[in-house]
Amino acid sequence: MITTHQLEHWLQEDIGHHDVTNHVPGETTGRLVATEPGVAAGLEAAARVFEYLDVTVEASVTDGTTLAAGDQLLRVSGPAKSILRGERIAVNVVGHASGIATRTRTAVDAAQQESQSVRIAGTRKTTPGLRGVEKRAVVAGGGDTHRLDLSHMVMVKDNHIAEMGLEDAVAHFRERASFGTKIEVEVERPAAAPQAAAAGADIVLLDNTSPSRVREAVETLTAEYPDVLTEASGGITLETVPAYAKTGIDIISMGSLTHSAPSLDLSFRTGEP
């Protein structure tokens, strides 16, 4: 959720102490329109901004809707002054979130041409302060949030394994984490994948591994541990997604979905019918 504190921070950092340009009298309307194709996201945040300013908001689409250039995302009506104040922030947050949703959709489409069941997932590489907005934007694009925060799922990493050994590390966290928490184990070599599964991993992560070695690891693992999920990660791009999707992997995670997606181009038009 977006707190009032955060919302007011967004407004305050844009307005400052004395803005003379928005003191426009009367009522007006406004429309948020996509000027390029994409996928809508962040609409709840935009609605929060306008509603805070006593502007009435009607969403024309929902998060996840495919947009053609010219499609309207939402329509507002209310005091001209308030609409002018909210407009820039609404465009910024919806453009940002929709950019993430759009890139996610592109990755999902690329992957699903090779595998109907593979999931494209985000990472914890999100913009500080926008974890929830960005995770939900990944979902809007057809992706999987992956770990929402460090408490959501245990990730057993190389430093844990180096310190405790793989079996003991998994047992250590199985003991300490809730029964409701899944445990994922990151392995550096495909050969370690079955060992991780044997130790009790719910998911095995193959980091920085080539598609061919991923395929090999997935085959070995699945034969013996059909219920264990597999994930590939590390520098996977829109270009290499299909190659990974073909390997039989369950999840492909990509930091670039959230940290490097360009904003979706939007236009806010006031005073239109």
Q: Which 19-48 residues touch its own copies, going by CB under 8 A?
A: 19-22, 24, 45
CA neighbor of 123 nearest in space, from 105, 149, 98, 103: 149
From the list 63-71, 135-143, 207-215, 240-248, the region that binds its own copies by CB under 8 A is 135-143
Instruction: With contacts defined by CB under 8 A, name the span among 63-71, 107-115, 131-139, 241-249 that binds its own copies.
Output: 131-139
Q: For the segment 62-101, give every residue that binds its own copies (CB under 8 A).
A: 88-89, 91-93, 95-96, 99
- Minimum gap (Å) between residue 92 Cβ and its own copies: 6
- Minimum CB distance to its own copies smaller for 191 or for 201: 201
**Contacts (CB under 8 A) with its own copies, residues 205-224:** none
- DSSP lists the bridge partners of residue 207 as 233
Q: Are 85 and 23 in contact (CB under 8 A)?
A: no
Identified catalytic residue from 81, 125, 135, 157: 125
Distance separating alpha carbons of residues 119 and 253, to the nearest angstrom: 8
Dist CA 262 CA 64 (whole Å): 17
Pick from 108, 135, 190, 192 the residue near its own copies by CB under 8 A: 135
Report whether 35 contacts 266 (CB < 8 A).
Answer: yes
| Segment contacting its own copies by CB under 8 A, of 108-116, 138-146, 218-226, 238-246 | 138-146
- Residue 125 known to be catalytic: yes
Among 29, 61, 115, 152, binds its own copies (CB under 8 A): 152
Using the rule CB under 8 A, which residue among 37, 109, 114, 182 binds its own copies? 182
Distance between CA atoms of 182 and 151, rounded to whole angstroms? 10
Among 68, 116, 176, 273, binds its own copies (CB under 8 A): 176
Residue window 103-122: x/- pattern of binding to its own copies, with contact defined by CB under 8 A: ----------------x-x-
Strand, coil or helix: 247: coil
- The binder of its own copies chosen from 59, 66, 115, 153 (CB under 8 A): 153
Listed in sequence order, the residues at least 6 apart from 49 whose beta carbon sits closer than 8 Å to its beta carbon are 7, 10, 11, 86, 89, 90, 93
Distances (CA, A) of 77 to 24, 86, 115, 170: 14, 12, 44, 55
d(Cα 212, Cα 215) in Å, to the nearest integer?
5
Q: Is 170 in the site for its own copies (CB under 8 A)?
A: no
Residue placing its CB nearer to its own copies in the complex, 99 or 248: 99
Footprint of its own copies on residues 1-20 (CB under 8 A)?
A: 1, 3-6, 8-20
* Torsion angle in degrees (nearest 10) through CA of 204, 206, 207, 210: -170
Which listed range, 108-116, 146-154, 190-198, 213-221, lies at the site for its own copies (CB under 8 A)? 146-154
Task: Count CB atoms within 10 A of the CB of residue 156.
Answer: 24
